Structure formats: structure tokens, C-alpha cells
Amino acid sequence: MAAKQLSGKLAVILHADVVGSTALVQLDEQKAHARIQDSFQRFSSTISNYHGQVRELRGDALLAEFERASDAISAALCFQSNQAIYNTQLDDDIRPLVRVGIAMGEVVIADDTITGAGVVLAQRLEQLADPGGLCVTPAIREAMPRRLPFELENIGEQVLKGFDEPVGVYRVALSSGATVPPPEQGGSSDPAEGSPRLKIVATAVVLAVFAVAVYGFVTWQSREPVISESAEQMASEKPSIAILPFDNMSGDPDQEYFADGITEDLTTDLSRISGLFVVARNSAFSYKGRSIDVRTVAEELGVRFVLEGSIRRANDQIRINAQLVDGSSGGHIWAERFDGTMADVFALQDDVNRKIVTALEVSLTAADEARFDLVETTVPEAYDLLLRGVEIYNRFNREAIIESRDLFIRAAELDPNYARAWANIALTHATEVNFFWSDNPEESIRRGLEIAEKALQLDQSIPQIYLTRSILYLSQRQHQTALEAAKRTIEVHPNYVDGHATLAFISSYSGEYKQALEALRRARQINPRGTGIYLAIEGRVLFLAKRYDEALTLLEESVDRNPGFDSTHLNLAATYAMLDRLDDATWSVDEALAISPNISLSQIRAKTLYLHQADIDHLIDALRKAGVPE
């Protein structure tokens, strides 16, 4: 018998259990088990939304692993807030209260079972928590970004069974009047994979923006409500709407990909209607898994209307329940059920879209009308494979990219004329190039461009095709061609937020600062909650334009929100250096080196994607002054 594969590492561990589960079972065994199971299913979904992975689920206890302490705490508090609301709606005393402990420690993973000191410590902390409460260690406290809206109470050192020395313990609660920060989209869904460690300042920003541009999965979300005046102004000119993630009511968690995929496609289709303003998928999905009043959503996103709903899929049958809500009053404008099969899934989506357009009295152009009749594939199984591939792609690690490509290829094999499948195949090659996951980058670039061209011959209206080409052209340092492709992305789909973000970042590397800032302004209008990535790009552009004070404000906030990116630390270090704040510059360089120890000026100079030598010299001189090794 082969020996088991053991994997040891440092991890953030969450342990939860139901308080007094035995007493609940004694009241009504069947009802208690059902409610405990339902509670942990919802907790598991929340954990997944916050990029954690449930490792064990047994009876009245749950064990999960995270990469970041902030995600673990946010997931716990989000669930507990929702659970408190859930319990108030019950008309009996069978109300599951879940307490949680979170610790950081060494763990060993064998055959998907996780053990070790980190697990035991999380269990001991959970036993100290109040019913519905949360306890963490000092290590977790230190790993939390300071600006998160959490209150910590030091309850002193506690003697814990199995530990020789007393352990410091903190109670954690949500600050009064605050809301739990939304998930930062794009974190690894499997903590075992770890975060991609970006290697150099130039390509690191490219990678982050490219991730946003693909499906919006690495959007560095705002940690607090952002109400954009520009978004409100734009929305006031035409009917405005946000499409919230549809609930999966299929009774099968594996169908989550289908509910998310339909939501994304509805968002995409509506956003292409010229007389309608639709908030980007990135912003709307920041509310996934959260209980929140639609009036709050409308206010935070600067829209007048909100669409919410659910999807139930049973074999070939599909049911979509949708409600259009007035964001100012919270009143329903209409609620309707749409039934069909996978064979007419696109007609179902068109029915929903037409109902919205009619209710909002949107005038359709001839081009808008023509798009309603488009069917992207006549093979339902190919569409299903594509949605599965998108869900796996969004896990965003090397293995996921390969696995998703296999699904996209299968979709294209079922329907060789399926342009969207070919576009996504090209996208996977571009992703491998940009994240250093390709064993043969030149071949990946060649294949990516070749397949993108094939997709383009089938359908010239898919914006991701041009976006993928723009990224691959930039990787070849063909700046002008990359810019033209990025602009074409927006021409094809003027409300495609990722096209504007990509144009901004390519413009920044091409010395087109004004164009970059204007593209960022437009991206913010469409995606008001995706401010984090825009802070990083705009801060770098302002540094290049020698507007250091303005750059400093943006880069400091970007680092605060996303401390794990070496590129942002380096851009901040360069800015500090030009402002003669050398102690701060040294600190920022140290932070970058802690993430990527091999950073050097020679490496940056060799790999940078800046078009103009003056920009390269400007950056290198600033980083040298900041103390980056030669």
C-alpha cells in the first residue's frame, strides 16, 4: 500500500460548533438535525464566498481552512449576523447558536483530513466563545488589517487543555452600526493553493488588472460602502439597475455555478442595451451570500432599481423566479416566474431581459433588438460545460486554469461554431502567460492569439476576445497594437467595465496618462465597489506623472486594503522616496521583499513593460533611492 501524502503548513483554521445541540435534539430530534444541517450548509456557502475551504463537517461541528485571517473573521461574522436574523424568524426554541474559534498554526493535511496544533487551538478557542460569538488568538489579531470594522476585547491569557503555556485570547465582534466587509473576489477558493506571489513591480500590476479584466474575479473590493457621485450622475441620465446574484434553489450546492452563470449572462446582456445603465457584475456580486436590504444596495451602488431572484434546475427543467424592486422604496415593481428547459435557456434569459426593459420603459435601438434574437450555441450541453468552466476558472490557480480549459475545449468540440468557448480557450492561454504558469510562454502566446482569431472569425461582438489580444500584445511589448485592441474592446461593448480598466493599465504603460485616468473614471462609474484595483493603477499613473502627493494618498489606501501585493508596496516605496520620506520607503521595500525575496532593480529593469525609457529610469531611480537591491 502506498504511503499517504502528508502536507504540513501554516494555516488559518476556523472551528465552529452548535451550542447545546443535545438539548435542541431533545426538543425535537428531526427538526433540530434539519436546522443544524441547514445552518452549516449556509455557513459552508459563506466560507466559500470568503475564499475558505470546509475541511470537515460532522454533526454539530465544522472545520474550515483559510489563507487570510481577515477572510476567516469576515466569514464568521457574516454568518453569525445572518444566523441571528434567521433565529428571530423561528417560532419555537430550536434555534441553533454557533460559536467560533479562529487560530493560526501548523497543520498537516493527509487525504483531505486536516490535523495539527492549529486545529486543536481553534477548537479550544471556540469553547471559550459566547453562544453566537467568536474568539481569536493574538496572531490572528495582528494579521487583521487595521481598518476593518471589528471590535476586539482582550480577555487575557487563558490556560488551554493540551498547551503548556497560557494563550492570549480576544473576543471579536462587528463594530456598532457597521456591516461585514464583502468578499474580496478572486481569492483562492482552495487555501492550499496559496496566493500567486507576483514577482516584479511592472508585471504584478499587469496581472492584477488582467485578472479583473477576465471575469472580475480578482476585484480588490472596497471594504466599506462606496457611493459614487459619478455613478449616480451617469445613472440619472438613463434607467439604472443592479443584478444581484440569483440564489441557487436546486437543492444541490453543485448547481451554484449555474445560478451564478445565468446571473452573469443577464448582467452582460442588459449592460449592452444602450438606453440602460447596469452596474458591473463585480460590484453586484460583492453582496453574494449577504442578507441586506435592497434599498441599501441601491444607495451604495447608485442605482434606482435592483433585480433579485432565484434559479431552480432539475435535470433538464429550469425555473427562474425574478423580482424587480424599486431601490428607493423597496417595493416590488413586478415578480414573475419563467419556466423552460435547457434547450431554450437563452429564450428564458431573453424573456427576463425583455420584461425588465419593458418595465423600465427603455427604448431599444435596432442593434439592441437584434441582440435579443442571438443564440450563442444551439447545443445546451456546450453552454453547461462553458458555465462549469467559468466557475472553475474563477478559482484561479494553475490547475484550475488547465481544468477549465478542458471544459471549454469540450464545449467547442460539441459545437465547433461556439465562439464564446473558443474565446475562453484563448483566455486560458493568456492567463498562463501573465501569471507565469506556462511552461512555454512563446507557444502559449502563439496559441492564445491563434485561437482568439478563430473566435473572432465566428463572432466579432465578444469583447473578451479583444481584451485577451490586448494583454498578449502587451506581453510582446507591442504597445500600440495592444492599445488598439483595448479600444476595440470598448467599441464593441461601451459598458464593459473590464475593457475600460484594461485600457487604463495599457495606457499607463504606454505613457498615455490622461487616457489612463479617463478610462479609470469610466470604470468607477460602472463598477463603484471595485475601487481597490483602480486605486493601485491611478496611484502608479500619478507617480509616473510626478504628482507624488496625490499618488501617495491612493497607494497608501491600496496597500492598506491589499497588503499581500508586492507591486503596490514597491510603487508606494518609490513614491515615498521621491517625497524624501526614506524611512517609510525602506519599510515599504521590506514589506515587498517579505512577499517576494528575489526582487532586484536588474530584474525590474529587464522585465518592465513600460514603453518609454524615461518612465523606466524614473521608476528605477526612485526604487534605488528607496533601497531596493541592485
Could you report the per-residue pLDDT of 6-52, keeping only the tens digit for each?
446 778 999 999 988 888 888 888 888 888 988 998 899 889 889 99
What pLDDT, on the 0 to 100 scale, is given for residue 84? 85
Looking at residue 308, its amino acid is: E
Is the domain of 249 the same as that of 369? Answer: yes
Cα–Cα distances in angstroms (integers) from residue 60 to residues 39, 80, 500, in the given order: 10, 15, 47
Residue 113 is assigned to a structural domain of this protein: yes
CB-based contacts of 12: which residues, under 8 Å, 6+ apart? 65, 66, 67, 68, 69, 71, 72, 102, 103, 104, 118, 140, 143, 191
Is the domain of 34 the same as that of 138? Answer: yes
pLDDT in tens, 394-413: 777 788 889 999 999 999 99
d(CA 449, CA 444): 9
Q: Taking 80 as the threshold, does the pLDDT of residue 453 lie above it?
A: yes
Q: Taking 60 as the threshold, does the pLDDT of residue 110 lie above it?
A: yes
What pLDDT, on the 0 to 100 scale, is given for residue 146? 67
Q: What is the pLDDT averaged over residues 521-548?
A: 85
DSSP, collapsed to helix, strand or coil, labels residue 316 as coil
Is the domain of 240 the same as that of 350? Answer: yes
CB-based contacts of 460: which residues, under 8 Å, 6+ apart? 492
Q: What is the pLDDT averaged over residues 72-95?
A: 87
3-state helix, strand, coil in the chain (%, to 5): 55, 15, 30
Q: In the chain, what percentage of residues exceed pLDDT 90?
A: 40
d(CA 525, CA 515): 16
Residue 221 is assigned to a structural domain of this protein: no
What pLDDT, on the 0 to 100 scale, is given for residue 383? 94
Q: Taking 50 as the threshold, does the pLDDT of residue 506 lie above it?
A: yes
- Please identify, among 376, 399, 423, the residue that sits at the C-terminal boundary of a domain: 376
Lookup: cell for 369: 433588438
The residue assigned the cell 513591480 is 201
d(CA 584, CA 561): 18
Q: Taking 80 as the threshold, does the pLDDT of residue 449 lie above it?
A: yes
What pLDDT, on the 0 to 100 scale, is given for residue 579? 96
d(CA 542, CA 549): 9
Is the domain of 167 the same as that of 97? Answer: yes
Is the domain of 81 the same as that of 175? Answer: yes
Phi, psi of 217 (to 5 degrees): -90, -15
Q: Taking 70 as the threshold, does the pLDDT of residue 531 lie above it?
A: no
As for how many domains the chain has, the answer is 2
- Please identify, among 123, 158, 181, the residue that sits at the C-terminal boundary of a domain: 181
Is the domain of 96 the same as that of 163? Answer: yes
Residue 202 is assigned to a structural domain of this protein: no
Query: Any idea what the CATH number is for the domain that residue 303 is in?
Result: 3.40.50.10610
Mean residue pLDDT of the chain comes to: 83
The listed range with the strongest mean pLDDT (150-164, 216-230, 459-473) is 459-473
What pLDDT, on the 0 to 100 scale, is given for residue 519? 93
Is the domain of 55 the same as that of 124? Answer: yes
Is the domain of 333 the same as that of 261? Answer: yes
Q: Taking 80 as the threshold, does the pLDDT of residue 218 lie above it?
A: no
Torsion of CA 569, 575, 579, 585, to 10 degrees: 20
Domain housing 31? 6-181
pLDDT in tens, 317-365: 999 999 999 998 888 888 889 999 999 899 889 999 889 988 888 888 8
What pLDDT, on the 0 to 100 scale, is given for residue 468? 93
pLDDT in tens, 142-172: 777 767 788 888 888 888 877 777 888 999 9
Q: Is the dihedral of CA 113, 118, 124, 130 positive or negative?
A: negative
pLDDT grade, residue 138 (50/70/90)?
confident
Residue 103 is assigned to a structural domain of this protein: yes
Residue 542 is assigned to a structural domain of this protein: no
Q: What is the pLDDT averaged over residues 432-445?
A: 85
pLDDT in tens, 550-597: 999 999 888 877 776 778 889 999 999 999 999 999 999 998 888 778
Residue count of the chain, please give it.
630
Query: Any idea what the CATH number is for the domain that residue 33 is in?
Result: 3.30.70.1230
pLDDT grade, residue 112 (50/70/90)?
low
End-to-end, the C-alpha distance of the chain in Å comes to 51
Residue 302 is assigned to a structural domain of this protein: yes
Residue 158 is assigned to a structural domain of this protein: yes
pLDDT in tens, 381-393: 999 999 999 988 8
Q: Taking 70 as the threshold, does the pLDDT of residue 306 lie above it?
A: yes
Alpha helices in 237-276 (DSSP H): 256-271
- Please identify, among 331, 355, 376, the residue that sits at the C-terminal boundary of a domain: 376
Q: In the chain, what percentage of residues exceed pLDDT 70?
A: 88
